[in-house]
Amino acid sequence: MRAVDLAEQGWSPDEIAEVLDRSLRSVQKWLKAAREQGVQALQAKPHAGATPKLTVEQREDLQRRLLAGAQAAGFDTELWTRPRIWQMIQDVYGVTYHVCYLSDLLRDLGFSCQKPGCVPANATRKWSAAGWRETGRALKKGPATPGPPRLRR
């Protein structure tokens, strides 16, 4: 658009290319498009991309199903995993997503990945504080296994 404005003010394509820090060929191409198709030909054109596999209604329904919980969807625990969500989408909507893409889909729906805690759910708070420290000490790496000494430089 700036190139067309400068050309209308009487600037040469060489001068426009130098001022805009673009190649002469690009400036010539822009000016030709503006002459032949109008200035609107230089407007940015959004890339549509692929059509979504799930409709807006299906995405809303999926969100409701996820909020209802995994057990409501027929699984034995309340833990949602990507393979479970993939299976549910395939069964309910007849659509197949790649399991790795589901993170993007879930983020678009307003969900985030949650890491389970490292303390078992049936553990008491007292065990979590004191016993976990003792267990951690016991699990620490012990001395190296016996064998020939390591050489150093």
Return the higher-pLDDT residue of 6 and 150.
6
pTM score: 0.48
Tokens of 110: 């307003």
The 3 state secondary structure assigned to 94-128 is CCCCCHHHHHHHHHHCCCCCCCCCCCCCCCCHHHH
Rounded to the nearest integer, the mean pLDDT of the chain is 81
With bands split at pLDDT 50, 70 and 90, how would you rate the model's confidence at 52? confident
Tell me the pLDDT tens digit for each residue of 69-122.
999 999 888 888 888 999 999 999 999 988 888 888 998 888 887 766 665 556
Domain boundaries defined on the chain: 2-42, 56-108
Are 80 and 72 within 8 A, CB to CB? Answer: no
Q: What is the pLDDT of residue 21?
A: 93
Are 39 and 4 within 8 A, CB to CB? Answer: yes
Average pLDDT over residues 47-72: 90
Packed helices 24-37 and 13-20: angle between N→C axes, nearest 10 degrees: 120
